């Protein structure tokens, strides 16, 4: 019994839960990325910028609405929607004209967008860090593990994660548009031949994926300094998660996010200076063993 | 020269090649025929190392070449053209053939000699023999389908093979191109003494030039024999021919 | 190279450009000499990327790692060992080539996008190690004040050294591309299955390209030390990798001098724009979008296409080139 408590020490458990809350954010963003990658075959570098925009918009919306809890909840709804709208406009105006070209061009276009938006964010919001206050009901912590405090907001994240996951699963597997999207991921020509407007399917999927990026940004906003450059680190992590999970596989995004999030938090526990290396090392191990990802990819 | 014994390959649950047998003697022209999906291209892919078989063996000049990668098989003396055109589309016709020759001469590790100076005569020879000499500067991405199929053969010749495997060499060709291609194949066998293995859908062509025919249905070999034997065979008629063609 | 792009006129243009390059330090202010040095070495870096990218068809998404590792290896060699800086400069490229070998061995079994992403993750790992290992690599400060031999420590000296090394490297790379190895490489780019079927060991050739590309990226890294006397972790970050990719794309990734042109344009633009405003990535992004939609083969690629108006013309041209060489 003592061994059990020793292994499951408060510090370890606490770190695991911190890792899990990070996993939630990573999963939400990565699932959006995976969706876009799987159905549209676009490696969407712009995703990171949209995540950042989601966070900044949350700051603005909640600020405009008084900075209290109401403001945050409104932001949580409006910011991702705003991001989705922007992504729809971009997709219809630019991306859809490149579907016939090679992937590299689409990838570079999304990179171009991320460059443009990087500066747009700078222009609109300036260069300093922004803070988004935690909504009142989630302020404070709960003392779970041997007295170590665990922020209530993180508990909220741990609750939201499964909600989003289930909602996503339902949309992808149970709705008509979800099924069409999955078919389009495997054989877009066939779907077109059956008379479905594949173009709008793509637009819809792209929007959902970007919505998730915005949602991730909105959710993470109260927990971090909302700053320029958050797009860079996140997009790298999201891509790696998607790759190790299996391209286009939402379940894979979950697995990947778990590995990544937990590796990071446990890594910091074991080796504080280089803890951040652990997720990357885990990625390399996975890719060496299963180059196409842990779960089945749609490619 | 080439012996295929009981070769098998499946994809997931689908059995593409089912214990196929094939024998090609030196100097022969052998045709593989069968309905669509019978596994002909898969068989060629297995022989040439593009795919790995699960069972069975392939012998070339007595040597076991089963499972070897494509580039090794090429070095043994087998060259191949593909059904779906596989050429170097950004390079010129000349360069396509030239690279084939340079590869055969093991020169692809040469980092410093300008390749424009190498193997020029031989490349021109081959281009001349297949009739592409006049277009040799053209970028292959821009030439006609028929020319590209001929280029496929030219590239295979660059390897100076003993066995030439042609996968549907006349597919998609216009009639004049087809007859030129047939003459070319006949010439390769007659003048150069190449052993040729090919597959085709056009029965006239098959019966016109093949010495022996192997019939594949659903991945397996029904029979291998001469024109007459095959035409007379009951199973073949049922599965495939359903009528008489000129021979 | 220019010859193949512009015909006989190319030779004159090329010659003029060379003469100009040698004369610049005599009349240009110090800042511009520095700038052109940077353009030259970054152009070399982009050209080395284009070897696997444009000529090999390999998705080399994190080329900057080799540049950064080469630079850091040289810097550490110079500052930590007692040996002459020249040895340090030589170590850079070999360290980069060695890393290419290791990373290549790991990544080569995958292809296309997977290759690129695995390379990015391995490269990111290297970046993090460099970034965090404060005691050894200087962490996010990098290493400053690296001693450079007197003969090349002045801006003019550094410039001529960079010019010389860049020209030599470009000459070597050009030789390689026009060699049978280069032809095989392009064959692999266009059709790996066909290449294998004519006897080429595709993976081995690709590995060789990666090592060569890494080597010259390391050369560029060493040159940066000569010009700037410092190294930074940013040299290893993935945004730089994508930037040099943009340079190749902008200039024309199926041409030899395209990457150099792309480097010149982007660095000049960045310097010019930064003089007015903080917002450099916006114009860069817009430029990229323009190139993607209207100039997918880059500027030099576009010029080449305009020159070849019909297949017949092209036939004559290529035949002539073949005859000439």
- Tens digits of per-residue pLDDT, C253-305? 999 999 999 999 999 999 988 888 888 889 889 999 999 999 888 999 888 88
B89: nearest CA partner in chain C: C190
User: Do β-strands B14-24 and B63-64 pair in parallel, antiparallel, or remain unpaired?
Assistant: unpaired
> Which residues from C are below 8 Å from A111, CB to CB?
242, 246, 285, 288
Domain boundaries, chain C: 2-324
Q: Per residue in C185-236, pLDDT tens?
A: 999 999 999 999 999 999 999 999 999 999 999 999 999 999 999 999 999 9
pLDDT of residue C324: 40
Nearest CB to A280; choose among C125, C245, C292? C125
Against chain A, the chains showing at least 3 CB pairs within 8 Å are C
Please, which residues have CB within 8 angstroms of residue A151's CB and are 6 or more apart in sequence? Answer: A134, A138, A140, A141, A223
Whether A264 is covered by a domain: the verdict is no
Which chains border C (3 or more CB–CB pairs < 8 Å)? Answer: A, B
Written as one string, the DSSP assignment of C287-315 is: HHHHHHHH-TTHHHHHHHHHH--SHHHHH
One-character DSSP codes across C232-292: -GGGGSHHHHHHHHHHHHHH-TTSSSHHHHHHHHHHHHHHHHHHH-S--HHHHHHHHHHHH
C246 CA: distance to closest CA in chain A (Å) = 8
Show residues of chain C in contact with B82, CB under 8 Å. Answer: 193-194, 197
| Chains C and A touch, using 3 or more CB pairs below 8 Å | yes
Subunits next to B (3 or more Cβ pairs <8 Å) are: C
C residues 265..284 contacting A (CB < 8 A): 278-282, 284
Work out whether the CA dihedral B237, B239, B243, B244 comes out positive or negative: negative
Residue of C nearest to B84 (CA): C194
Arithmetic mean of pLDDT over chain C: 87
Structure tokens at C11: 């030779």
Residues of B in contact with C182 (CB under 8 A): 111, 115
Going by pLDDT thresholds of 50, 70 and 90, the confidence category of residue B203 is confident
How many whole angstroms separate alpha carbon B246 and alpha carbon A191? Answer: 43
Q: Which residues of C touch A274 (CB under 8 A)?
A: 128-129, 132
pLDDT value of residue A238: 92
Q: Which residue has the higher pLDDT, C325 or C81?
A: C81
pLDDT at C308: 67
Interchain pair A103, C113: CB under 8 A: yes
CA-nearest residue to A272 within chain C is: C132
- Read off the pLDDT of residues A193-243 as tens digits, 9 standing for 90 and up: 887 788 888 899 999 999 999 999 999 998 888 889 889 889 888 988 998
Touching B: C residues 174-213, CB under 8 Å: 175-176, 178-184, 186-187, 189-191, 193-202, 205, 208
| Tokens standing for residue A199 | 């173009």
- Pick from C178, C194, C202: CB nearest B88: C194
A272 domain-assigned: no
Q: Is residue A265 part of a domain?
A: no
Provide the number of structural domains found in chain A: 1
**B193: helix, coil or strand?**
coil
Tokens of B76: 């043994």
> In chain C, which residue's Cα lies nearest the Cα of B143?
C311
pTM score above 0.90: no
Q: Which residue of C has its CA nearest to A279?
A: C125
Contact criterion met (CB < 8 Å) for A232 and C117: no
Q: What is the pLDDT of residues A67-116, one digit of tens each?
A: 777 888 889 999 999 999 999 999 999 998 888 777 778 888 999 999 99
Question: pLDDT averaged over chain A?
Answer: 86
Q: Read off the pLDDT band of A275 (50, 70, 90).
A: confident
User: CB pairs under 8 A, 24+ apart, for C102-106?
Assistant: C103/C65, C103/C210, C104/C206, C104/C207, C104/C210, C104/C211, C104/C214, C105/C207, C106/A284, C106/A288
Q: How far apart are CA A41 and CA B67, in angstroms?
A: 33
ipTM of the complex: 0.87
Tell me which of C179, C189, C253, C297 to substitute to probe the interface with B (most B C-beta atoms closer than 10 Å).
C179
pLDDT score at C97: 96
Q: Does A4 map to a domain?
A: no
Domains and CATH numbers, chain B: 1-77+162-247 (3.40.50.300), 89-160 (no CATH)
Indicate the residue of A97, A118, A240 with minimum beta-carbon distance to C281. A118
Task: Show the domain range for A70.
Answer: 14-231
pLDDT digits (tens, 9 = 90+) for B26-39: 888 999 888 877 78
CB contact under 8 A, B99 and C187: yes
Binding-face residues of B in 143-172 toward C, CB within 8 A: 155-156, 158-159
Helix (H, G, I), strand (E, B) or coil at B94: helix
Round to whole Å and give the CA distance between C211 and C205: 10
Residues of B in contact with C322 (CB under 8 A): 94, 116, 120, 137
Are A277 and C239 in contact (CB < 8 Å)? no
**Is A170 domain-assigned?**
yes
Alpha helices in B105-164 (DSSP H): 120-130, 145-158
Interval C36-92: pLDDT, tens: 999 999 999 999 999 999 999 999 999 999 999 999 999 999 998 888 889 999 999
Tokens of A27: 């999963």
Chains A and B touch (3+ CB pairs under 8 A): no
Average pLDDT (C140-154) is 88
């Amino acid at each position: 019994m003592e061994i059990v408590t020793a292994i499951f020490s408060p510090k370890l458990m606490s770190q695991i839960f911190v890792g899990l809350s990070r996993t939630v954010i990573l999963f939400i963003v990565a699932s959006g990325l995976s969706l876009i990658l799987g159905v549209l075959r676009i490696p969407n570098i712009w995703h990171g910028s949209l995540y950042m925009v989601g966070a900044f918009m949350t700051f603005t919306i909640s600020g405009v609405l008084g900075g209290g809890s109401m403001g945050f909840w409104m932001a949580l709804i409006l910011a991702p929607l705003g991001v989705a709208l922007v992504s729809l406009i971009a997709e219809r105006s630019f991306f859809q004209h490149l579907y016939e070209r090679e992937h590299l061009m689409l990838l570079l276009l999304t990179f171009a967008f991320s460059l443009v938006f990087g500066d747009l964010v700078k222009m609109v919001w300036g260069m300093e860090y922004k803070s988004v206050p935690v909504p009142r009901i989630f302020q404070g912590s709960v003392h779970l593990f041997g007295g170590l405090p665990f922020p209530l907001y993180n508990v909220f994240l741990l609750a939201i994660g499964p909600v989003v996951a289930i909602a996503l699963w339902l949309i992808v597997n149970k709705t008509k548009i979800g099924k069409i999207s999955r078919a389009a991921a495997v054989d877009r020509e066939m779907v077109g031949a059956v008379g479905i407007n594949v173009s709008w399917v793509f637009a819809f999927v792209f929007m959902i994926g970007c919505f998730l990026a915005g949602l991730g940004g909105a959710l993470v906003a109260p927990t971090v300094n909302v700053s320029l450059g958050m797009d860079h680190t996140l997009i790298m992590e999201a891509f790696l998660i998607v790759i190790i999970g299996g391209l286009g596989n939402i379940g894979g995004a979950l697995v990947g996010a778990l590995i990544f999030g937990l590796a990071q938090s446990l890594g910091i526990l074991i080796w504080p200076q280089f803890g951040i290396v652990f997720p990357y090392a885990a990625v390399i191990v996975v890719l060496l063993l299963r180059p196409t990802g842990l779960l089945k990819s749609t490619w | 020269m080439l012996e295929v014994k009981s070769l098998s390959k499946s994809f997931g649950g689908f059995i593409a090649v089912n214990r196929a047998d094939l024998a090609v003697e030196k100097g022969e022209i052998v045709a593989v025929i069968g309905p669509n999906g019978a596994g002909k291209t898969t068989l060629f892919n297995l022989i040439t190392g593009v795919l790995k078989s699960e069972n069975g063996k392939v012998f070339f000049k007595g040597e076991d070449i089963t499972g070897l990668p494509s580039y090794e098989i090429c070095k043994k003396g087998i060259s191949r053209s593909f059904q779906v055109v596989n050429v170097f589309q950004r390079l010129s016709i000349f360069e396509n053939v030239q690279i084939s020759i340079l590869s055969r001469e093991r020169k692809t590790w040469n980092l410093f000699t300008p390749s424009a100076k190498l193997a020029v005569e031989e490349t021109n020879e081959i281009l001349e023999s297949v009739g592409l000499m006049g277009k040799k500067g053209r970028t292959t991405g821009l030439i006609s389908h028929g020319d590209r199929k001929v280029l496929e053969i030219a590239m295979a010749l660059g390897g100076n093979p003993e066995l030439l495997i042609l996968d549907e060499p006349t597919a998609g060709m216009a009639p004049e191109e087809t007859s030129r291609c047939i003459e070319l194949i006949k010439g390769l066998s007659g003048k150069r003494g190449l052993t040729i293995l090919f597959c085709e859908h056009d029965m006239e062509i098959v019966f016109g030039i093949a010495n022996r025919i192997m019939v594949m249905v659903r991945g397996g070999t029904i029979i291998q024999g001469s024109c007459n034997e095959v035409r007379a065979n009951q199973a073949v008629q049922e599965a495939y021919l359903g009528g008489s063609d000129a021979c | 190279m220019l010859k193949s792009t512009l015909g006989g006129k190319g030779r004159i243009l090329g010659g003029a450009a060379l003469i100009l390059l040698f004369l610049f330090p005599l009349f240009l202010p110090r800042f511009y000499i520095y700038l052109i040095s940077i353009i030259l070495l970054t152009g070399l870096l982009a050209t080395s990327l284009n070897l696997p990218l444009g000529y090999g068809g390999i998705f080399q998404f994190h080329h900057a790692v080799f540049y950064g590792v080469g630079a850091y290896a040289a810097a550490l060699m110079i500052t930590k060992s007692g040996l002459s800086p020249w040895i340090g400069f030589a170590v850079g490229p070999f360290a980069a080539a060695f890393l290419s070998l290791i990373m290549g061995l790991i990544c080569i079994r995958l292809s296309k996008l997977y290759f690129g992403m695995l390379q990015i993750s391995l490269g990111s790992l290297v970046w993090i190690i460099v970034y965090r290992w404060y005691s050894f690599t200087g962490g996010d400060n990098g290493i400053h004040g690296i001693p450079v031999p007197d003969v090349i420590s002045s801006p003019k000296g550094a410039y001529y050294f960079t010019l010389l090394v860049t020209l030599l490297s470009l000459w070597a790379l050009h030789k390689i591309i026009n060699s049978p190895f280069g032809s095989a490489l392009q064959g692999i780019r266009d059709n790996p299955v066909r290449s294998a079927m004519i006897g080429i060991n595709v993976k081995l050739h690709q590995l060789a390209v990666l090592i060569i590309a890494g080597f010259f990226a390391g050369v560029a890294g060493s040159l940066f030390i000569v010009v700037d006397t410092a190294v930074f972790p940013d040299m290893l970050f993935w945004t730089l990798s994508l930037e040099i990719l943009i340079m190749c794309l902008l200039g024309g990734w199926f041409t030899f001098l395209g990457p150099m042109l792309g480097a010149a344009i982007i660095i000049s633009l960045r310097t010019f724009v930064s003089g007015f405003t903080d917002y450099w990535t916006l114009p860069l992004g817009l430029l990229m979008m323009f190139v993607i939609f209207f100039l997918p083969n880059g500027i030099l690629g576009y010029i080449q296409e305009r020159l070849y108006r019909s297949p017949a013309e092209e036939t004559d041209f290529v035949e002539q080139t073949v005859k000439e060489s």
